[in-house]
Structure 1
Amino acid sequence: MTRRLGNRYELQEQIGGGGMAVVYRAVDTLLDRIVAVKMLRPQFEGDEELIERFRQEAQSVAKLAHPNIVNIYDVGITDGEYYIVMEYVDGPTLKDLIRERGPLSPSETVNITQQICKALEHAHSHHIIHRDVKPHNILLTKSNQVKVTDFGIARAITGNTVTYHNEKSVMGSVHYFSPEQARGGTTDIKSDIYSLGVVMYEVLTGRLPFSGDSAVSVALKHLRDNFTDPRHINPDIPQSLENIVLRCLVKAPEYRYRDMNEVLQDLNGALQNPDVPKFQPPSSVTEQTIAVPAVQDEQYRRQQDGQQEENAPAKKRSIWKTLMWITVAVVMVVVAVLAAYYILMSLLKVPNINLPNVVGDKQSQAVTKLVGAGLTKSQITEQQGHSSKPKGIVYQQDPSGNQEIKKGRTVTIYVSTGAQPINMPDLSGMELSQGESWLTGPNYGFPKKNIKVQKALSSNFQQGQIISTNPAAGSKVTTNQTITIKVSKGAPQTTVPAIVGKSIDKATQMLKQNGLTEGTITQQSSSQPSGTVLSIDPYKAGQKVDKNTSIDLVVSSGPAPGSGNNNSTGSSNSTGSSNGGGSSSGGGTSTGNLPPGTKQKTVDVTIHDNNNQTHQVLITKTDATGQDQTVVSKVINKTSSFTVQMYIAPNTTGTIHVTEDGKEIKTIPVSY
């Protein structure tokens, strides 16, 4: 089900979650980019302590800017829901990589650990301790760049960096936290170094240094037990690299590395100098961390008591006996409390069950499968939402399947109500590849297989451009529908007819029959009869062109004055039409009675572009022939030029009149 936070972040799908928050992939509609949105779980919205911890994460990471730390973009609250907007990392966690490939090679381990060190060193330099360093919080991009995330329990380094006194459990993940975290003590840079050592141990061996049946048992092992050396599990680990792990995992913080820079320096030279002596912690560190009151030898105690009876007053002997019994009593109380604690923990321990994966199952089948795994129907919560899966099919579950969970945990299944209707976008005029990317991208999310392509001729769209879609633009569609895109394969073509030598009327008719239009008509004197087409431009007869192409014509205006045809009785030959679709040429001029000394002049007349609007243009002339002649009668929709032949007698002036849509727009005098 699509949701929008802060009228900006459109949630798409859940990509992760923990005990405190859920992480979604989302689209920042303002900046048109993919982000990750971390939302506090609804059951914690009234928990001021967790809300403060949630804010602490944003405040902590907002101070940091490093290529190996996930960026924080925004923090907000909508309808009581707290959320953090972060950089989206499209890649696995380090935990996923370990599960998939087992122990990683020493070189890959060094590369990953170096990047983690740089991230933590940057945080430490800004007085931020992570306190939850583990493979689950280390993301890897497709280019193997490390991104450290989840500073949800990070705290500033101050004099009070111990865990909160009112917390019900020690913060951090039990398999990765330090001995000082396990006993609720002070946490500082050394705590992150210890956790880094656990991460390196797991990366190099595929195993954790300590494991147990409960969180308490694991915590106690961090405090008092020794682990198996990494090289005993994986002999391919260089001694230099094992030494780094051993020094990080020393139980006493003072004997670990001083800071991440020291770890980084050893990592930089680990593969160049692999054969070094094995690291040995100081002998005092190998002793158990938990101090237990010693029980003295009975004979020795009696000797001491005898000497004290001889040499000390009775009152002093009495005080020592009292202290001894108090010590014994304290030891007995401690033993009794520990025994009671372990008995209580065993009684309260909740067994695990294997949670099946029900995504893709029908709702009824999913419930049956979950009940069969050990859950009760009251533990199964159902929510409905739009998805690409058919109606009634589970499209998501929380927690995800194929993992162990506590038997009493609630499981939520999300049942599809079908795809959400959206408005079909208008793709007309786009290139096919652009339109397909638009439909399959994050804004719409159509599967590639649902997009079909048809090709068709079009005079209005260039080859490769989208003409239309089915369903049409603006109609309601869902992402599981098939979308047909109609793409232009170019305009229909035709052949330029052979019109040279034809009369203007016949030429116009032939062009129209072939789906062509006449373009600019230019008059030129010649021995051909007036109105005869002399040439065409820019194409030739028989050439293939797109339909509706304009063909420019050069038309004869008859013989020029003084060319030997002065005895001709040529008549005015009006070949145009006044219906706006043709052209008239007044070239058929009687030149036999022209006054002596008459000159022929050529005048170019240009009608400028009128914003691609259609206009009826009429050009007439008056000259020494004594006739009012129509030169051009044509519909134009672009800037056009025309040539007018004039005959001017001495001491006279001719006139050219230009009319547009019945209104005279210019008068051009032509002098001798």
Structure 2
Amino acid sequence: MTPDRHARSGADEPSADPSGAARNDGRRLEGRLLDGRYRVGPRIARGGMASVHEATDIRLDRTVAIKVMHPGLGDDEEFAARFVREARAAARLSHPNVVAVHDQGADDGVVFLAMELVAGHTLRDVIAKESPMPPARALALLEPVLSALAAAHRAGLIHRDVKPENVLISDEGQVKVADFGLAKAVSADTQHTATGGVLIGTVSYLAPELVVDGRADARADVYAAGVLLFELLTGRKPHEGESPIQVAYKHVHEDVPLPSTLVPGLPAYVDALVARATARDRGQRPADAGVLLHQLRRVSTAVVTGVREDPDLVADLMPRPPAPDTTDGTDTGDAADPDDAGDASGAVGGDTGELTRPLLRPTEVPPAVARRGDTAADPWDSGEMAALLAPSGAGSPTAPPPTEHTRTVQVPVGAAAPPAPRRTRRSRRGLLALVLALLLAAGIGTGAWWFGFARWTTTPGVIGLDRAAAVERIEAAGLEAEVGPRAFSRTVPAGEVMSTDPAAGDRVLDGGTVTVTISKGEELYDVPKLRGMTEDEAQDALAELKLEFGGSTQRWSEDVPEGIVMASDPKPGTTLRPGAVVDLVVSKGRKPIKVKDWTGEDAGTARERMEAQGLVVEVTDEEYSDDVAEGDVISQDPVGATLFKGDTVELVVSLGPELVEVPNVRASGVDAARDELEALGFEVETRRAAGYLGLGYVFSQSPGSGDRVPRGSTITLTLI
């Protein structure tokens, strides 16, 4: 695994940088130990707000990715607190298509996230190599992205920066969405532009409402996903410009083009899916990524089965055109609707060439807004952005008075000027025309009623019901019920409905399908029996159950081989939530015993000490020894070796010197006595008695006859 093969994050796309620090990190992090735990390695990616380094978690001995906020951001206590809060929210996400967040912290002003390291490449690399790609391939790549976003939206999180650089593809082909650590938790106090009013996010994927007023909900992620699909299908971004503000301007004032305008031959329902996801009026977009995922699967099914045309699917997906306001004969572009930023801007719409007010071109940036030194990587304050991009309709205090150049005109695009009308005399054709007009109006009204209201119904509420009751209620409403894959829930008991797609109260075609998700209850796992596995096998078994390996303790064992798990903490069968830590006790094998050399020492003491160590002591022989005292060890086998419990040590114990009985040599001649004693191994000394007569006979001996003395002892003979 080398740094250049790691998936990058946010390194290739201009993004808003609240501090300008993206151009100079100001610190040398490589080699530094963060929080006493993470040894920072080489940098593998760089974005507008942070850089990503490979790092080693020295506590768990694993490789992770460390995302470090650029200098200056970590010094802002408000930002740091918000970052920590959002990191905790992101860490709650547990989904196979989401890059896991392991830890967060701060170390001497360095605010960081510890994340799962994904070895592979980014979706940007795939786009560069394969786009424009077939619809089936594009939809298959986007599906896991939407699955990850749907999980986040269900948890109340908005990503806010969906782009190809944040979609990682591992070497095994698994798709994962990164950077949820910078997402905003959905709440009343977070519905504003992050980082003190400075626009966060990559301009090419920003939803219009984010550009205008900085407000975002799940539909902003839906918009970015739609732009992503457009780029996969065409190999191009829908809006391009020389600076971020030009691109942002186009997002507000221009619809995303249909992909088929760049890649002819794409099915109309694929165009409709892109148009629905990227509608400038966020009210016409899918409510969240879960709804868009359902629509994508319908389109994917049509593509895979080879359907070329599906008018019903197109009609169901294509955004509805805004209803014209004809109270004064002009179309105001629905300027009163704050959510419809596109129509309120006065953009050209439809085939009629209708223009409600002058259009400020992207290159015509007013001098009061343009700033010295602005580049593609510069941040744009949301107030400035709103001043430039918000519509200047009648409600604006600076709106210019209407002139003949701003009147609504209805001229077909590309058509010649209409000829001067000529008078015709009244005839019966006038009455016929009136009847036809009435019939046409009635037909149009009936069609509008049918397509707009009559064929639609609402999804009934079935949350909390069991499967049978939910299916019965849905079918009673004239809809088809489809039971999707079960999912875990901490709040909904097992066997009950936890969600539906579409959600309760949402509009759905009469006779359409409602997908029901049944709860599997709280996600809990029993600690498996790990004894007898290798440490690697035990870690794999824990990972399969979404349990975390904490660490291992080494212990001696006489019956478990080295490297094999002896026990776990908690014990097998203990029920835990995903992410709970399990520690292991691993065998070090048999405990070695160093054998002491007991030669010359008391054999009884030697036996007692060695048996206390678990060794078996055997006395194999007892021998006479003139040098080793009786009861001491003459020799042992083995000597100085390393043994294990149950092994045998053999001892040879001394009987002391061998004793010989002294014979009676009194009255014997000195020569005969000497020969007899020396034959028995004695030394002989002679001395004369006090009244020595010179006879040469033994008068007395010492030791006396019958005494037992060691062989080699000296016998003293007294001669007369």
TM-score by length of 2: 0.43
Between 1 and 2, higher relative CO (CA 8 Å, sep ≥ 6) is seen in 2
TM-score by length of 1: 0.46
Q: Report the structure, 1 or 2, having the larger strand content.
A: 1
